[in-house]
Structure 1
Amino acid sequence: MYFLFDNLYFPPVSEADEEGILAVGGDLSPERLKLAYKNGIFPWFNEGEPILWWAPDPRMVLFLDELIISKSMRNILNRKQFTVTFNTNFKEVISNCQKIQRIGQDGTWISDDIVESYCELNRQGIAKSVEVWQEGELVGGLYGVDLGHVFCGESMFSKVSNASKVAFISLVKHLEEKNYKLLDCQVYNPHLDSLGCREIDREEFMDILKSE
């Protein structure tokens, strides 16, 4: 495990341990975050603990043409009960992701420092959001880092049933129209699996990431 200091550097992702932890420490400056994502690395840690930098193997991803939309979700989309916008209210989306209560989780990894850093990335046009509205109220959304050919998803929230799924599906359709190669979902969870995401070798992920 590599310990980061003030220098803008990350070791090769192949040096990550079995859990996927590559490095500890450093900061959340926009420069370091941009370097991390361009090299297949992302921060994930509990508030009050040292920053942990991850490059897991395998990697959870979605190839855009493998998206699974259930019949019930198709009905919801066809009814147009939600309105979707792209990157119009990033601060509110990340703030809701920070505050939303999640089953089985005590607190959140999205600290105030994370919010501040990713809002700066948004101002630089790198971090982006998807917003889902119902009757003028923000009821769901997601945010992530846009690398131009790969979108690195970070977190979703939902205040009403299916709002985060609508955000996810809308993002995938948007990326597909723009000829993106991949949606990076980082690590496995059953919800992502149900939407068509799957694990691939880190080496394959890195090949796609580097093929701009």
Structure 2
Amino acid sequence: MIPKIEKYELIFPHPNDANKDGIVAWGGDLNPSRLIRAYQAGIFPWYSKDDPIIWWSTNPRLIMELDDFKITRSLRKSIKKFEYRFDTNFIDVMKNCSSVTRNNQNGTWISDDIIEAYSVLNSMGIAHSIGSYLDNKLVGGLYGVAIGKVFCGESMFSIENDASKSAYAILVKHLKHWGYDFIDCQVPTDHLKSLGAKEVKREYFLDRLYRVNMDNIGHNWDIENSLLDN
């Protein structure tokens, strides 16, 4: 039996009690307090439209050590093509990401409810986006949640070649400057592995997560222009 989260219940089961597929619980809602508690515990929502909210803690977990990010010669050239903007057009970044499916899931998991919930987190300084612009047009980017010194990547999109990879590279550069520990990539994908992400056991991930100050939320991402000079 997968535990159900009731409407006014904010406490999650322990992520190590997830079933073999990585499902921790179902139900509840996407209010900011619940989302923050979920990420602090290493849990994230992922579900299809018209389905109940499903809360996950996958095993294995995919993480990106900031020093392991791979920048190829061609990517270094691509990075110089774009302009990068943090936390502008957050909703547009999410809507573009909604056209991308996760693994073999039918349709998008980024529903209107997800967009509304994470927009609230963005207004609280907890969810962030970075967009790649070409000729003043948004052509790629990503968004995620910053809790403590961990950035939990949610989704990315690319219209122009290397636009999302370039945004990711700029993100990594800033996270290192700000003293972040690692990026939680959540579900293993070949794309992120090709960039340097690695699979780890859930127990290892949770141990790393709990060692970071997860109570420190709402980091104001003040961008230093010098870091954007490639």
TM-score (norm 2): 0.88
* Equivalent in the alignment of 1:200: 200
Q: What do the CA deviations read for 1:78-112 (whole angstroms, capped 9, x no partner)?
A: xx210111112211111111135789653200010
Secondary structure of the corresponding residue to residue 99 of structure 1: coil
Relative distance call for 1:57 and 1:48 in structure 2 (3 A) is: same
What is the alpha-carbon distance in structure 1 between the residues aligned to residue 18 and residue 103 of structure 2? 29
What is the alpha-carbon distance in structure 1 between the residues aligned to residue 92 and residue 53 of structure 2? 24
5+ long unaligned stretches in structure 2:
214-230
| Superposition RMSD in Å | 1.5
* Equivalent in the alignment of 2:93: 93
Q: Equivalences for 1:13-28 in 2 at 5 Å? A: 13-28=15-30
Relative distance call for 1:101 and 1:201 in structure 2 (3 A) is: closer
Relative distance call for 1:102 and 1:23 in structure 2 (3 A) is: closer
* Equivalent in the alignment of 1:68: 70
What is the alpha-carbon distance in structure 1 between the residues aligned to residue 103 and residue 34 of structure 2? 31
TM-score (norm 1): 0.95
5+ long unaligned stretches in structure 1:
none
Secondary structure of the corresponding residue to residue 171 of structure 1: helix
Relative distance call for 1:104 and 1:8 in structure 2 (3 A) is: closer
What is the alpha-carbon distance in structure 2 between the residues aligned to residue 99 and residue 73 of structure 1? 24
What is the alpha-carbon distance in structure 2 between the residues aligned to residue 187 and residue 59 of structure 1? 6
Aligned length: 210
Q: Equivalences for 1:147-162 in 2 at 5 Å? A: 147-162=147-162
What is the alpha-carbon distance in structure 1 between the residues aligned to residue 102 and residue 20 of structure 2? 27
* Equivalent in the alignment of 1:2: 3
What is the alpha-carbon distance in structure 2 between the residues aligned to residue 130 and residue 152 of structure 1? 13
Deviation at 1:141, TM superposition (A): 0.7
- Alignment of 1:209 onto 2:199: no
What is the alpha-carbon distance in structure 1 between the residues aligned to residue 102 and residue 39 of structure 2? 25
What is the alpha-carbon distance in structure 1 between the residues aligned to residue 70 and residue 171 of structure 2? 13
Secondary structure of the corresponding residue to residue 19 of structure 2: coil
Deviation at 1:75, TM superposition (A): 2.2
What is the alpha-carbon distance in structure 2 between the residues aligned to residue 201 and residue 98 of structure 1? 28
- Alignment of 1:131 onto 2:122: no
* Equivalent in the alignment of 1:42: 44
Relative distance call for 1:105 and 1:163 in structure 2 (3 A) is: farther
- Of 114-123 and 89-98, more deviation after overlay is shown by 89-98
What is the alpha-carbon distance in structure 2 between the residues aligned to residue 58 and residue 210 of structure 1? 17
Identity %: 49
Q: What do the CA deviations read for 1:4-49 (whole angstroms, capped 9, x no partner)?
A: 1121110111110111000011111111101100100000010001
Relative distance call for 1:162 and 1:103 in structure 2 (3 A) is: farther
What is the alpha-carbon distance in structure 1 between the residues aligned to residue 201 and residue 181 of structure 2? 16
Relative distance call for 1:181 and 1:115 in structure 2 (3 A) is: same
Q: What do the CA deviations read for 1:156-205 (whole angstroms, capped 9, x no partner)?
A: 01111110101111111110111110100001110000000001111111
* C-alpha contact 2:101 2:109 (8 A) present in aligned 1: no
Secondary structure of the corresponding residue to residue 121 of structure 1: helix
